[in-house]
Amino acid sequence: MLSDWLYVGVFFLIAMFLPGAAIFVAGLLAPKKPNPIKNSTYECGIETVGSAWVQFKAQYYVYTLVFLVFDVETVLLFPWALAYNRLTMFAILEGLLFVVILLGGLLYAWRKGALEWV
> Domain for residue 116, yes or no?
no
SS3 46: strand
> Domain for residue 71, yes or no?
yes
Q: How many angstroms separate the Cα of 95 from the Cα of each of 32, 73, 105?
A: 54, 10, 16
> Domain for residue 11, yes or no?
yes
Q: Which residues pair with 43 in a beta bridge?
A: 46
- Report d(CA 104, CA 110) in Å as an integer: 10
Count structural domains, the chain. 1
Q: Which pLDDT belongs to residue 100?
A: 93
Q: How many CB atoms lie within 10 A of CB 99?
A: 12
Q: Could you tell me which residues come within 8 angstroms of residue 73 by beta carbon, excluding any fewer than 6 positions away?
A: 98, 99, 102
> Domain for residue 52, yes or no?
yes
Question: Is the alpha carbon torsion for 85, 87, 92, 93 positive or negative?
Answer: positive
Is the separation of the CB atoms in 50 and 43 below 8 Å? no
CA torsion, ordered 40, 43, 46, 51, to nearest 10 deg: -60
Domain range spanning residue 38? 2-111
> Domain for residue 118, yes or no?
no
CATH code assigned at 38? 1.20.58
- The pLDDT profile of the chain, 118 residues, written as one tens digit per residue, is 667 889 899 999 999 999 999 999 999 999 888 888 777 776 666 666 766 676 777 778 888 888 888 888 888 888 888 888 888 999 889 889 999 998 998 898 889 887 787 6
> Domain for residue 31, yes or no?
yes
Q: Which pLDDT belongs to residue 35?
A: 86
Q: Which pLDDT belongs to residue 33?
A: 86
> Domain for residue 10, yes or no?
yes
> Domain for residue 33, yes or no?
yes
Q: Which pLDDT belongs to residue 45?
A: 67
